[in-house]
Structure 1
Amino acid sequence: MKELMKNTRQHLMTGVSYMIPFVVAGGVLLALSVLLSGSAAVPAEGSALRDLFNIGAAGLGLMVPILAGFIAFSMADRPGIAPGAIGGYLANQIGAGFLGGIVAGILAGIVVYYLKKIKVPSIMRSVMPIFVIPLIGTLVVGGLVVWVIGAPIASVMTGMKAWLEGLGTSNLIILGIVLGAMIAFDMGGPINKVAYGFGAAMVGTIDPATGMASPIALKIMAAIGVAICTPPIGMGVATLLAPKKYTSEEKEAGKAGILMGLIGITEGAIPFAAADPIRVIPSIIVGSAAGSVTAMILGAGNPAPWGGWIVLPVATGKFGYMIATLVGVAVTALMVNILKKPVKDEVVNADAGNNDDEIELDFE
């Protein structure tokens, strides 16, 4: 186990390297659909832009399963891909987000690694890597995700929502810090969704006297809108400021992340957080919290349940909204680059590992 886990960073980087094309393709297509629709919302049902949105959403939907599957692949070779990917899909479905996907991938890698150690008769060796190990591994990992991880996550999310609602709006600065941190923590995961749902519900509550959302609700949604775009833009800017601290794949993901952030897609920062969570997650949390608080102080308002700069046409206090975003981006980029060290840009070998598990099928 010690030998297997000492290369955890390498396993994470392998998963990230396979995940990045899904993030870039899916995220950029989704962002373009929202941008071309001309409004900070999902395009109308039945339109070509909605179809484009769905194509992009499919790419982002595969992001977590691919991450988990190839983390397991790095740990246990090809037999780990199916248990890891299915475990990652289930983790995403129950609301565990990319952090749940990482856990599922590591679990799958460990389970399959030890299944491969089981001694079997020679007649069984050819079917173990393509039938027995994926089957048992998927059952074990899927069962752990659904029956063990799922219930605690659901109860934590319920409690967190109640706590957030209990904070009220009496101290907007504290609320801004909390919302910004929650939005950034798991970048589209369950904690992010709780904070976003809180803001969207506030904006959706109409004041009978004015027929509009209250000014406080607009401020809360502005703080959330800034926090949504800060992580991907901040990490993209960080790759430009200190390119030697990022791999070539991360630098490409950074360019896409800036576009995704401007359109309000926080998931653009996930490749960086998955590869180096210890340094990246605290940096984006602090940056998003700083941006959110700045938006509160400057009095920006956002009537659209969306984030990024795509909401600027309908936002109030546009200058404050932009300044708040730049503050959050600057804090994120500077903090993460201070924490990070230069990296050796290595190409992940997709065929690395033990090839004894491969079976060749001849159909001649």
Structure 2
Amino acid sequence: MKKVVAVTGSRASAAHTAMAAEALEATADMLGYDIRVERIGPDGTSDRLSDVEIRNADVVILATDQPDDQDRFQGKNIRRSTPGEAIRHTARLLREAAGDRELPQVAELASPGTVPLEPMPVAPPAPSPVPAPQPSRAAPPPVAETPKRIVAITSCPTGIAHTFMAAEALNKAARALGHQIKVETQGSVGAGNPLTPEEIEAADVVIIAADTNVALDRFSNKRVYSTSTGRALKGGKEVIATAFEKAQMPGDGGDAATGSKPAAGRNLAGEVERLKAERSAQRTGPYKHLMTGVSYTIPVVVAGGLAIALSFMFGIDAANEEGSLAAALMQIGGQAAFALMVPVLSGYIAFSIADRPGLAPGLIGGMLASQIGAGFLGGLASGFLAGYIAYYLKNWIRLPQNLEGLKPVLIIPLLASVAVGLLMIYVVGAPIAAILSGLTAWLSGMTSANAVFLGLLLGGMMAVDMGGPVNKSAYTFAVGLLASQTYLPMAAVMAAGMTPPLGLALATMIAKNRFTPDERDAGKAAAVLGISFITEGAIPFAAKDPLRVIPPAIVGSALTGALSMLFGCMLRAPHGGIFVLGIPNAVTNVGLYALAIVVGTVVTAGLVIVFKKPGTEATLGAEAA
């Protein structure tokens, strides 16, 4: 068996270095050669050849455009090549290097067009006055007449080789076809070359070349084509051509295909989702990271809060009886779900900042915040600490290519977790726990005047932007206090969040001459969203006429929040709207709580009617059109 040593290296592409090495190893195995390959990538050398391996080798293949210490190969039979030839014509290269031209034919691993060849030095042709007839050959791939804009995401389960090789193949194919492309790689160390909202908006098509689940939230209004990394790697041009032909809108929405926006009354839920998606795309910086953490925390808190509320059906102290259903529900909600609230909040704030490497240190920091009594404030601190520590470690630590896979699963989680843990235990944890304890004590001992003022503040915040940053800040504050068994703010926040859509729904029923037919239809849907505590049901009305809708909503919500606090209403469930009112003991002072919601709804509706001018059926119909 002949012994071969090889060096692969591409100055411009780590993917080419890896592809050439893998092709040589696989083809040498089929030909019966013993081979060792050293890789020289942009980030350094891996699998370096030892002196013994070089001394025992029969032949040396240098498939590289990188500088190399060639003195170590003195006296050896050297075959010089390029990474492109090693990928495209691997078997031929190995035979020629070893002098075994009589071996049986072996298929080349790379199909034509998978990877463009680097230019090979060739002698210039002799000048000829009359061009010689050329044999017929396949036409070169057509270049796009009108360049298109493409955005793509590549991701494989391990997030290492195929992720970047597929990205390289798509980049090469798009350039060959005359298109513009940007590829985001969702690798093991997080997202690389991330797509911006502007780039997504300008794209003609989105290609998802992934063997894992990729979130499509960012592409709700774009045509998307999904395939595997293997197909992108082997046939980038075919994937791009197929994408332009077969890409579809996510969810196959009919209105989206025509580019028309649904009327508010016909599809209020769809309009709400569209406006929420636009808001999400505009989030940046710490607010974006906070909202990511909150969005992942809400389902945990809602499930736990409702489980606790259900336990109260059997009596306010029924959970104290061991083995009972009430005790089991309390264990599910209070001891399991609520115990996860702060770690999940912290973990997904860190995840938003540093991607997957930030998740473990964020979860661990959040658990420590819970254990030392720092609560949700400590979770916020640990999430941002873990995220930024993991983010900078990811960028600062440089390892050989064959060790890169250790960064996201070992090195970054370990270092970031230890750093965040020590900071929480010795530096920031105790002060934050003291702040939370003081806040809880103040809320528990509030006077009526202070309670009314806090209710006004939280209630008004819920209606300022109806699901935006101010709304979510008030909601996060109230939800965070549930873990400290402080229930007054939660009741005020939920009641105030229900009144904007309920008030607008009531206004559309009472004063039909102030609303278009579509708005009157939307009012019916807004009523359903309102009783479900989905404040965003008022967004389409506010977006269309903010000056006449938002101020009345703020006044009504602030009044509702103040009344809820004044009446001493407490809510043990963080969501559910009117449906939790029927759960015994989930809400205290249920009658007064319902009265607070009704008063805010009526005030909102009355002010909207006063602010909006009446119109005729003709003018309202023309406005709708």
TM-score by structure 1 length?
0.55
Structure 2 unaligned residues grouped into runs of 5+: 1-193, 195-282, 459-473, 506-527, 535-555, 574-579, 607-625
- Equivalent residue, structure 1, for 2:364: 86
**Conserved in 1, the CA contact under 8 Å of 2:482 and 2:490?**
no
Given that 1:26 and 1:60 are in contact with CA atoms closer than 8 Å, whether structure 2 keeps it comes out as yes
Pairing of 1:322-341 with structure 2 (within 5 A): 322-324=594-596, 326=598
Aligned to 2:332: 55
Contact kept in structure 2, 1:231 and 1:332, CA below 8 Å: no
Whose helix fraction is larger, Structure 1's or Structure 2's? 1
Q: Which residue, 130, 134, 139 being the options, matches 2:413? A: 134
1:144 aligns with 2:419: no
SS in 2 for 1:187: helix
Paired residue type of 1:156: I
Shift of residue 141, structure 1, vs aligned partner:
1.3
Distance, in Å, in 1 between the alignment partners of 2:284 and 2:312 is 42
Match of 1:275 in 2: none
Counterpart residue number, 1:16: 294
Relative to structure 1, the CA distance from residue 253 to residue 149 in structure 2 (aligned partners, 3 Å threshold; closer, same or farther) is farther
Q: 1:312 to 1:138 in 2, by over 3 A?
A: closer
Computing the radius of gyration from Cα coordinates, the structure with the larger value is 2
Equivalent of residue 398 in structure 2, options 101, 105, 120 = 120
Amino acid at match of 2:595: I
**Partner amino acid, structure 1, of 2:416:** G
Comparing 323-332 with 119-128, greater Cα deviation is found at 323-332
CA contact (8 A) 1:84 1:105 kept: yes
2:354 aligned partner: 76
Tell whether the 8 Å contact from 1:185 to 1:191 is kept in structure 2 after alignment: no
1:125/1:313 CA distance change after superposition, 3 Å? closer
1:56 partner amino acid: G
Distance in structure 1 (CA, Å) of the matches to 2:604 and 2:454 = 16
Does the CA-based 8 Å contact 1:65-1:87 persist in structure 2? Answer: yes
Q: Where does residue 497 of structure 2 map in the other structure?
A: 235
Amino acid at match of 1:50: A
Alpha-carbon separation, structure 2, partners of 1:255 and 1:132? 48
- Which amino acid is 1:323 matched to? L
Name the SS for the 2:289 alignment partner. Answer: helix
Alpha-carbon distance between aligned partners in 2 of 1:87 and 1:329, rounded to the nearest angstrom? 42
Q: What is the CA distance between 1:237 and its match in structure 2?
A: 5.2
The 3-state SS of whatever aligns with 2:323 is: coil
Other structure's SS at 2:396 match: coil
The secondary structure found in structure 2 opposite 1:121 is: coil
> What is the rounded CA distance, in whole Å, between the counterparts of 1:151 and 1:236 in structure 2?
37
Map of 1:214 onto structure 2: none
Residues 72, 132 of structure 1: alpha-carbon distance in 2 compared, 3 angstrom cutoff = same
How far residue 87 of structure 1 moved from its aligned partner, in angstroms, is 1.2
Name which structure has the greater RCO, CA cutoff 8 Å, separation 6+: 1
Amino acid at match of 1:93: Q
Do 1:83 and 1:141's aligned partners in 2 also have CA atoms closer than 8 Å?
Answer: yes
Q: Residue 42 of structure 1 contacts residue 53 of structure 1 at CA under 8 Å; is this kept in 2?
A: yes
Choose from 473, 478, 486 the match for 1:187: 478
Distance 2:386 2:587 in 1: 46
* Preserved contact between residue 95 and residue 190 of structure 1 (Cα < 8 Å): no
Distance 1:70 1:242, change over 3 A: farther
> Following TM superposition, by how much is the alpha carbon of 1:44 offset from its aligned partner in structure 2, in angstroms?
3.0
1:117 aligned counterpart, secondary structure: helix
Q: CA deviation at 1:102?
A: 2.5
Measure, in 2, the Cα distance between the counterparts of 1:52 and 1:152: 33
Higher strand share: 2
| One-letter amino acid matched to 1:74 | S
Is contact 1:30-1:56 (8 Å) kept? yes
Asked if 2 retains the 8 angstrom alpha-carbon contact of 1:34 and 1:43, the reply is no
Query: Which residue number in structure 1 is paired with residue 306 of structure 2?
Result: 28
- Whole-Å Cα distance in 2 between the matches of residues 71 and 94 of structure 1? 20
Q: What does residue 262 of structure 1 align with?
A: none
Matches of 1:90 and 1:110, distance apart in 2: 18
1:242 Cα offset (Å): 8.1
Q: Relative to structure 1, is the Cα distance of residues 158 and 106 closer, same or farther in structure 2, using a 3 angstrom cutoff?
A: closer
- Structure 2 distance, partners of 1:128, 1:67, is 24
Distance 2:558 2:427 in 1: 28
CA separation in 2, counterparts of 1:94 and 1:253?
Answer: 39
SS of match in other structure, 2:395: coil
After the TM superposition, which residues 189-228 of structure 1 pair with which residues of structure 2 at under 5 Å, given as runs? 189=480, 193=484, 196=486, 227-228=489-490
Q: CA deviation at 1:99?
A: 3.5
Unaligned runs of 5+ in 1: 197-223, 244-251, 259-282, 297-301, 335-364
Residue of structure 1 equivalent to 2:467: none
Output aligned runs, 1:253-264, within 5 Å. none
Contact 2:301 2:338 in 1 (8 A): yes
Runs of 4 or more, structure 1, over 6 Å off, are 161-167, 181-185, 239-243, 252-256, 283-286, 304-308, 311-316, 328-334
* Identity between Structure 1 and Structure 2 (%): 39
**Alpha carbons 1:33, 1:43 under 8 Å: kept:** no
User: Do 1:27 and 1:56's aligned partners in 2 also have CA atoms closer than 8 Å?
Assistant: yes
Say if 1:77 and 1:29 are closer, same or farther in 2 by CA, change over 3 A.
same
Which of residues 448, 451, 458 in structure 2 aligns to 1:176? Answer: 451
CA RMSD of superposed structures (Å): 5.0
CA distance in 2 between counterparts of 1:80 and 1:157 reads 25
Distance 1:253 1:82, change over 3 A: farther
Once the 2 structures are TM-superposed, how far is the Cα of residue 185 of structure 1 from its aligned partner? 7.8
Question: Aligned in 2, Cα 1:134/1:236: closer, same or farther, shift over 3 Å?
Answer: farther
Instruction: Quote the Cα distance in structure 2 between the aligned partners of 1:59 and 1:314.
Output: 20
TM-aligned CA distance change 1:143 to 1:284, over 3 Å = farther
Whether 1:44 aligns to 2:333 is no
Q: Write the letter of the residue equivalent to 1:231.
A: V
Q: Which residue of 1 aligns with 2:434?
A: 155
CA distance in 2, matches of 1:60, 1:18: 13
Q: Which amino acid aligns with 2:325?
A: A
Return closer, same or farther for 1:98/1:253 CA change in 2, 3 Å cut-off.
farther
Alpha-carbon separation, structure 1, partners of 2:333 and 2:603? 29
For 1:8, give the aligned amino acid: P
For 1:266-345, list aligned pairs within 5 A: 288-293=561-566, 295=567, 319-320=591-592, 322-324=594-596, 326=598
